[in-house]
Amino acid sequence: MHVLLKRDGWPVNPKRIYRLYKEMGLQLRNKVPKRRVKAKLRADRTDATHSNHVWAMDFVHDQLATGRKIRILTVVDTFSRFSPAVDARFSYRGEDVVQTLERICRQVGYPAVIRVDNGSE
């Protein structure tokens, strides 16, 4: 009905179409509610009890004014919110991540747990 009225030049909007359907006794389309995925609570996630217990590691992406993309490896101690490493590079390989982690572990010490999100990167 919406397409036919619009083709004939009638001003149409969703409220007008709804009102016309109701007046003519036509069957209205049911709006299907959007399904929401419930958040899963992870039982294996350990809370940090002291400094250097749990580190969180993730990549951040950005683009320079020249158009070149950079990747930034961020490592954060979840207890103290201290960031032992924020390392930016144009390309990051697995070996680079290992080198960065070894360097900061020599400086700060080894954590008991390293938490990563295993996203697209």
Residue 118 has pLDDT above 90, yes or no: no
Residue 71 and residue 61 in contact, taking contact as beta carbons nearer than 8 Å: yes
pLDDT digits (tens, 9 = 90+) for 26-57: 877 777 778 877 777 766 777 888 999 999 99
Domain ranges of the chain: 1-29, 54-116
> CA–CA separation, 83 vs 77, rounded Å?
6
Sheet holding 54-63, edge to edge: 85-89, 69-77, 54-63, 113-116
Q: For the chain, give the percent of residues with pLDDT over 70.
A: 93
pLDDT digits (tens, 9 = 90+) for 50-77: 999 999 999 999 999 999 999 999 999 9
Q: How confident is the prediction for the chain on average, in pLDDT?
A: 86
Residue 119 has pLDDT above 70, yes or no: yes
